[in-house]
Amino acid sequence: MKQNDYQYALKPDWQSKAQLNRLNTPGSNDIYTLTLADASEFAILKHSEYTWLLSFSYHSTNKTKQGCVSVFIDEKEQGAIGNSQFFEAKQEGIRYLNLSSLLSNDLLDEQIKLHFKYCSTKPEVTLLGFKKPAISSGGAILIIAPHADDAELAAYGLYSEYSDRTWITTINAGQTLQSLDRQYIAGLDNNLADAVHRKAQIRAWNSMTTPLLAGVKLERLTSLGYFNLTIDSLYKVPQEQQIDKVLPGLTPNISRGLNHITLPNDERDTCTGESLVEDLASLLEQIKPTSVFITDPEIDPHSEHIMSAHALALAIRKSAHKPDNVFMYVNHLRKIKKFPYGPEHTLTALPPWFDASSIFKELSCYSHQLSLTTQKEKVVSFDTMHDLRSKPRLKKSLKKWWHQNILKSDYQFYGYHTYFQTHIRANEVFTFVDGQVFSDALIQSQTQK
């Protein structure tokens, strides 16, 4: 059994020690009720909106099957896929269970029950409450996607709910192509340079059209078309122009044909760290977002995702407008490809992370609930992204057949790319910090090296 405690530098706005009490009635093995130490204080919070996470000790009891915790009030809902959260097999340690959907204003007075399957726990738990940020108050929302599909993977549900004031910008052209046999359409181009050019155009089209499905207007979408930028491009050689090895004539304007917003680098058309920071600072000043979403630079290991977060930090420092909050999402994990765990439409919480310290000092958490209808719309948004149209290889086809016909699991297998399984969930979860704190902390972490 592998011991792994999820650890975050979380600062809840309210927390309480709690107890899980096993029910002794027939047929109720591994079903618990939740009792809070500060129940009276908790009752006062029913008039406020919170994200609720239960920190508990998880212990897998099966070598192959993932542990499942199902949360319910009415016995008819016991085991419902939308109220279930899955965890690793053959592991134990501290985990977070997302209770936000049930601890809503209408349900706070009801007795919550938890059913543990293929896993066990200890009675002592802690309920963490995070005040929901003022996303719904009317301020503009800017979602920054390092690549086409990152905004959809992390926040399609959120931006579809607030589509009337959401802006989305995609930083990278995403033109990289390892070989001709990796083209979106087999045999379409006969040389790699043409194929790279076409891929950049297609990904720009993806990023500028998919959000239309959710009601985000075209004039609030931008594609920047940068490529090959690194953290060094931002801090050490910000004026150094990047050249694509396969397509030397590639410039950011390959991605900007549908943009309605005028940006500083439109005419200069150079791929430099300095130009990226200027474009992002201009977007901040034109849009004036109160909430900005970006990949988590500490957890998400993708180099261009980390670079994008640093570019935002530098843009905030340069811009006259400072967002109230920066929300961070994770689309990649180190050596972990199947998180969130379990079938589509289940609950999720914070991803695996094992460091109680953070360059941001303290983090808050926000869980955004998605209806089943919105989750299905999110599936459609994935299907519009060429990069997520994975081929039905034999291994994937056999796995789908085995799950549906032999195991009879709840997996739907809407698509062959892993993201169709992992990122269609009942909620989207983010950590967030003050915008100025995000900028100062991230820049300082780099300049002190």
Domain ranges of the chain: 2-131, 140-447
In contact, 348 and 99? CB cutoff 8 Å: no
The pair of structure tokens assigned to 132 is 């929901």
The pair of structure tokens assigned to 424 is 């269609």
Q: Tell me the C-alpha distance between 108 and 46, whole Å.
A: 6
The pair of structure tokens assigned to 387 is 């990069």
| 53: Cβ contacts below 8 Å, ≥ 6 apart | 12, 96, 97, 98, 99, 100, 127, 128, 130, 349, 350, 365, 367
C-alpha 308: how far from chain center: 15
Q: Tell me the C-alpha distance between 151 and 169, whole Å.
A: 9
pLDDT confidence of residue 46:
61
For tokens 């059209």, the residue is 209
In contact, 347 and 83? CB cutoff 8 Å: yes
pLDDT confidence of residue 37:
81
C-alpha 77: how far from chain center: 27
Residue 295: phi, psi to the nearest 5? -65, 145
pLDDT confidence of residue 112:
85
437 Rama sector, left if φ>0, alpha if ψ -120 to 50, beta otherwise: alpha
For tokens 């979602």, the residue is 143
In contact, 112 and 33? CB cutoff 8 Å: yes
The pair of structure tokens assigned to 242 is 């990047």
Q: Tell me the C-alpha distance between 198 and 189, whole Å.
A: 9
The pair of structure tokens assigned to 145 is 């996607």
111 closest CA partner among 101, 120, 102? 102
In contact, 230 and 303? CB cutoff 8 Å: yes
pLDDT confidence of residue 1:
83
The pair of structure tokens assigned to 109 is 């007075």
Q: Tell me the C-alpha distance between 73 and 35, whole Å.
A: 14
In contact, 330 and 294? CB cutoff 8 Å: no
In contact, 168 and 159? CB cutoff 8 Å: yes
CATH 2.20.25 holds for 2-131: no
Alpha helices (H) in 263-416, listed in sequence order: 265-268, 273-287, 303-318, 372-383, 394-401
| 38: Cβ contacts below 8 Å, ≥ 6 apart | 16, 17
* Fold match, 2-131 / 140-447: no
Reading the chain (449 residues) residue by residue, the pLDDT tens digits are: 889 999 999 999 999 999 999 987 666 678 999 888 877 777 666 657 899 999 999 999 998 899 999 998 877 777 788 999 999 999 999 999 999 988 765 555 567 899 999 999 999 999 999 999 989 788 999 999 999 999 999 999 999 999 999 999 999 999 999 999 999 999 999 999 999 999 999 999 999 999 999 999 999 999 999 999 999 999 999 999 999 999 999 999 999 999 999 999 999 999 999 999 999 999 999 999 999 999 999 999 999 999 999 999 999 999 999 999 999 999 999 989 899 999 999 999 999 999 999 999 999 999 999 999 999 999 999 999 999 987 777 777 787 777 777 766 788 889 889 999 999 999 999 999 999 999 999 999 998 77
pLDDT confidence of residue 387:
95
For residue 171, give the amino acid letter: I
- DSSP 8-state symbol, 299: T
Q: Tell me the C-alpha distance between 181 and 212, whole Å.
A: 31
CATH 3.40.50.10320 holds for 140-447: yes
The pair of structure tokens assigned to 238 is 């910000």
